[in-house]
Structure 1
Amino acid sequence: MLPERFLDRMKSLLGEEYTDFLTCYDRPGYQSLRVNLLKGQEKDLAEKVNFLKEAVPWAKGGYYYRSEDKPGRHPFHEAGVYYIQEASAMAPAAYLAPVPGERVLDLCAAPGGKSTQLACAMGGRGILVCNEIHPQRAKILSGNIERMGIENALVLNHEPAFLAKRFPAYFDKILVDAPCSGEGMFRKSQEALKEWSPENITMCARRQRDILESAAAMLRAGGRLVYSTCTFAPEEDEGTISGFLREHPEFYLEEAKKYQGMTGGMILGPKADMPEIEKAIRLWPHKLKGEGHFLACLKKEEKSPDGVLSPGGEEKGISPKECREWAEFREEYLKIPFSGSYIRFGDQLYLIPEKMPLLTGLKVLRPGLHLGTLKKNRFEPAHALALFLKPEDVKNTLDLSLAQAERYLSGQTLPAEGEKGWYLISVEGYSIGWGKLSGSVMKNHYPKGLRI
């Protein structure tokens, strides 16, 4: 039961297309996921995940699947081989198009689909700051960053206005996937349908303007900002962008490729008022295989004020003497060197990205790659380290079949032979956790909170 006032507005917006739009709600939505390009080449991943048949045109690594395939119950999901993500939701990160070495911000990042997509494009190089204002959602975000084996992400829990003061003109690229009324997800989300109201749209539009103001302050001269929502409401889409551009002459809309089924932004008043709004992009559920989305690619003029390259300075890291146990573990069990700086949070050791900004005063959930726990005269590797590593990176491995992996994920021990010590456990070549061999028993170190 779609709200009557929503239907009246959509009929006015769409005209002759309104019937096609309404009919799409009688059909089930499309199911999609994105393979994790940090785990390997797209072709190899798509072949291994053998239920992927059709690619999402606008997103590298994106594929459709059938609901009966149930990828969320497959061991590959726990191994971070893919991220289940709605196809239209893959578009904003694809249009932001970060490259390795850049400083990138996902300002409203939970639950992490777009952050993990940005991380794949960055290939582990540069700094990816993933922020979420709600503490519980920030924890979910951090968990997904871990599951996908991402090494260069800094996960924060702050209001955008706070970050704007801390990171003036710092980022090369910023994604603002703004909280919205969620009209584009009515086919998938009963919660969005129940919470809909004209008052909520007005509240969301006001909040989106504030978030964009903060994002604008954090973007360097010449940088790109992608604004996106999953709503059809013009007040939150073209209205928000038009108002922002009027107040920020240093920004302009970039022309971006439109794939089949995408249309330009809608002119809300006289065309002379804001003709460039047609450069924005709308994704319609009756025109393509995905839900409703809106995005706009904004560029900041090169003549804008210079950025602050290292606000507050950079993290220097700790001395090697303070992580001797890690060095011994690395020498005994790993084949790859770990270059870079380390930081301790209590007894927890992290590898931080190069040129990490100073963390003092920030609410940090994850400051890079979690390596493990420094205990007295020994080191216990973190689950995040296992998901980052590949079998060829370690000296001891145990590769499981899908049936064996299900037993491992439930917390069971496994029979095994070999030298005692730590083993990277994998499923069909993809790392999934740690085990420790003692005698002929592989003790299970899959985190208890994740066990199935």
Structure 2
Amino acid sequence: MNLPANFLVKMKNLLKNEYEDFYKSYYEPKKQGLRVNTLKISIDDFLEKSPFKLEKIPWVKEGFFYQDEERPGKHPYHEAGLYYIQEPSAMAVGEMVDAKPGEKVLDLCAAPGGKTTHIASKMNQEGFLLANEIHPARAKILSQNIERMGIKNAVVTNETPARLAERFPDYFDRILVDAPCSGEGMFRKDQDACDEWSLENVALCASRQGDILANAANMLKPGGRLVYSTCTFSPEENEGVISHFLKNDSRFKLERIEAYEGFGKGREDWIPDAASDIDKTLRLWPHKLQGEGHYIAVLTKIDGEEEGKRKYAEVLRDQKVLKDYTQFAKETFIKQPQGDFILFGDQLYMLPNETLSLKNLKVLRPGWHLGTNKKNRFEPSHALALSLKGEEVKHTWNIASDEIESYLRGESISAKGSKGWYLVEVDGFSIGWGKLAGDMLKNHYPKGLRWVGK
């Protein structure tokens, strides 16, 4: 690994007698982790079914290390959304957000979706989750991961923090700012981050992080929690950004957060004019724990007034438009889902409760994607399949994990039964749709996800 010379000099000056251990950590194998998706399976049930050798991650109850030789991304359980492959240290951030069912939560810099999906699992499909990503291509990946994990209560936007701050003043109970950073903590697993690093980029990141944090602050309601995190060691982007923010916004205070073995404190001595209680923030070090570098600060908004009257999203009122969906729902569900509908072109969604108006925002996913209104018929979405359980539908077709590859390749299945839509399952967990007619279960697994050449 070719680490930047200026970075090494900087870290040696900061860490002093810890530097040698820190440097050696770059030449040790990186640890791999997965987080169980409790929206779909309990931790105990997953451990019973898991084909992988797993070791508990201390700082997140749903998190586990897996062995280097294993490939959980190539297993059907990954396609079914039973877990999310996530860097172990990064899992600490979702824990610190500590979202609760029924709350309004914002993940402001959300792609690719590891922390968003962690937050969603804590919310248990209740409340309003807004996941935003400013880069369009990354926003699409975020939306796909939300779909795979079966999340119903998330809206995905592709906006600037400033635009969202105009629309959602004093609105959210919790906000995560996992800020774009110089990526020093990811050097061991991402050579591109290493190659792109410079002292100038560190300064640029710190300035941008301050702007993002200021916009986030205005979207948090009084009493709300704001979590700031980075995957860099740079004091300018960590203690420096938080100290500057607190100096300029008296509405916030730092909270002391639980530290596990290997977690370090924020360093007052590494920046000028540090906040007096900056040691309440946390640093995760690769030479002290089995994970990469991270920084986490938790702030509470102690002052401010909640915004008054709000404009909520316009919902679909024309029942004629829902005619084909209603027929599908009657034939497919044991108990029909309840909520407000919205139509994006020919795509039908169900809005999370209390969704504000999304007009003039760049929206990729305005809620739970139900499917497509086609001519005289309704076709259910892959997102709908992945968010359902077998007991919620009238027809299921279960396939064992060691036999499901042909389905994932897009092949149809010889079958007998009542005609109509079937929720296809792998070992009892939803993975897609099939439609039975004429002793054949036609495959509706999306072409873009099929296991071609795997």
Please classify the TM superposition score into its range, dividing by the shorter chain length.
over 0.9
Contact 1:373 1:379 in 2 (8 A): yes
Amino acid at match of 1:317: L
Taking the TM superposition and a 5 Å limit, the aligned residue runs for 1:314-393 are 314-393=313-392
Query: Structure 1's 7 and 305: CA in aligned 2 closer, same or farther, altered over 3 A?
Result: same
Where does residue 234 of structure 2 map in the other structure?
A: 233
Where does residue 259 of structure 2 map in the other structure?
A: 258
**Secondary structure in structure 2 of the residue aligned to 1:20:** helix
When structure 1 is superposed on structure 2, of 50-59 and 398-407 the one drifting more is: 50-59
Where does residue 305 of structure 2 map in the other structure?
A: 305
Where does residue 8 of structure 1 map in the other structure?
A: 9
Contact 1:314 1:356 in 2 (8 A): yes
CA distance in 1, matches of 2:46, 2:335: 23
Cα deviation code 1:162-192 (max 9, x no counterpart): 1111111111100000000000000000000
CA distance in 2, matches of 1:204, 1:377: 52
Where does residue 438 of structure 2 map in the other structure?
A: 439
Cα deviation code 1:138-158 (max 9, x no counterpart): 111111111110000000000
When structure 1 is superposed on structure 2, of 6-15 and 287-296 the one drifting more is: 6-15
**Secondary structure in structure 1 of the residue aligned to 2:47:** helix
Using structure 2 for the length normalisation, give the TM-score: 0.97
When structure 1 is superposed on structure 2, of 2-11 and 380-389 the one drifting more is: 2-11
When structure 1 is superposed on structure 2, of 289-298 and 392-401 the one drifting more is: 392-401
Contact 1:413 1:441 in 2 (8 A): yes
Where does residue 121 of structure 2 map in the other structure?
A: 120
Deviation at 1:316, TM superposition (A): 3.4
Where does residue 286 of structure 1 map in the other structure?
A: 287
Aligned residues: 450
CA distance in 2, matches of 1:277, 1:52: 39
**Secondary structure in structure 2 of the residue aligned to 1:402:** coil
CA distance in 2, matches of 1:365, 1:91: 27
Contact 1:92 1:295 in 2 (8 A): yes
Amino acid at match of 1:89: A
Deviation at 1:271, TM superposition (A): 9.3
Amino acid at match of 1:72: G
Amino acid at match of 2:107: D
**Secondary structure in structure 2 of the residue aligned to 1:205:** helix
CA distance in 2, matches of 1:191, 1:18: 23
Query: Structure 1's 192 and 271: CA in aligned 2 closer, same or farther, altered over 3 A?
Result: closer
**Secondary structure in structure 2 of the residue aligned to 1:12:** helix
Identity of aligned residues (%): 55
When structure 1 is superposed on structure 2, of 261-270 and 347-356 the one drifting more is: 261-270
Amino acid at match of 1:21: F
Cα deviation code 1:39-62 (max 9, x no counterpart): 022211222223152222222311
Contact 2:239 2:271 in 1 (8 A): no
Where does residue 133 of structure 2 map in the other structure?
A: 132
Deviation at 1:356, TM superposition (A): 1.0
Amino acid at match of 1:173: R
CA distance in 2, matches of 1:52, 1:369: 34
CA distance in 1, matches of 2:335, 2:47: 27
Contact 1:352 1:367 in 2 (8 A): yes
Where does residue 397 of structure 1 map in the other structure?
A: 396
Amino acid at match of 2:354: K
Where does residue 193 of structure 2 map in the other structure?
A: 192
Query: Structure 1's 269 and 19: CA in aligned 2 closer, same or farther, altered over 3 A?
Result: closer
Deviation at 1:337, TM superposition (A): 2.3
1:181 aligns with 2:182: yes
Contact 1:182 1:231 in 2 (8 A): yes
When structure 1 is superposed on structure 2, of 312-321 and 266-275 the one drifting more is: 266-275
Contact 1:221 1:307 in 2 (8 A): no
Contact 2:34 2:65 in 1 (8 A): yes
Where does residue 78 of structure 2 map in the other structure?
A: 77
Structure 1 unaligned residues grouped into runs of 5+? none
RMSD (Å) for aligned C-alpha atoms:
1.4
CA distance in 2, matches of 1:407, 1:104: 39
Amino acid at match of 1:401: A
Query: Structure 1's 140 and 374: CA in aligned 2 closer, same or farther, altered over 3 A?
Result: same
Deviation at 1:400, TM superposition (A): 0.7
Contact 1:434 1:444 in 2 (8 A): yes
Query: Structure 1's 394 and 149: CA in aligned 2 closer, same or farther, altered over 3 A?
Result: same
Where does residue 98 of structure 1 map in the other structure?
A: 99
CA distance in 2, matches of 1:171, 1:242: 23
Deviation at 1:324, TM superposition (A): 1.4
When structure 1 is superposed on structure 2, of 435-444 and 128-137 the one drifting more is: 435-444
**Secondary structure in structure 1 of the residue aligned to 2:65:** strand
Deviation at 1:325, TM superposition (A): 1.1
Deviation at 1:377, TM superposition (A): 2.6
Cα deviation code 1:19-44 (max 9, x no counterpart): 11111111110000111110022211
Where does residue 155 of structure 1 map in the other structure?
A: 156
Where does residue 44 of structure 1 map in the other structure?
A: 45
Deviation at 1:359, TM superposition (A): 1.4
Contact 2:316 2:340 in 1 (8 A): yes
Deviation at 1:270, TM superposition (A): 8.4
Taking the TM superposition and a 5 Å limit, the aligned residue runs for 1:217-232 are 217-232=218-233
CA distance in 2, matches of 1:307, 1:171: 11
Using structure 1 for the length normalisation, give the TM-score: 0.97
**Secondary structure in structure 2 of the residue aligned to 1:239:** helix
CA distance in 1, matches of 2:62, 2:271: 40
Taking the TM superposition and a 5 Å limit, the aligned residue runs for 1:265-276 are 265-268=266-269, 273-276=274-277
Structure 2 unaligned residues grouped into runs of 5+? none
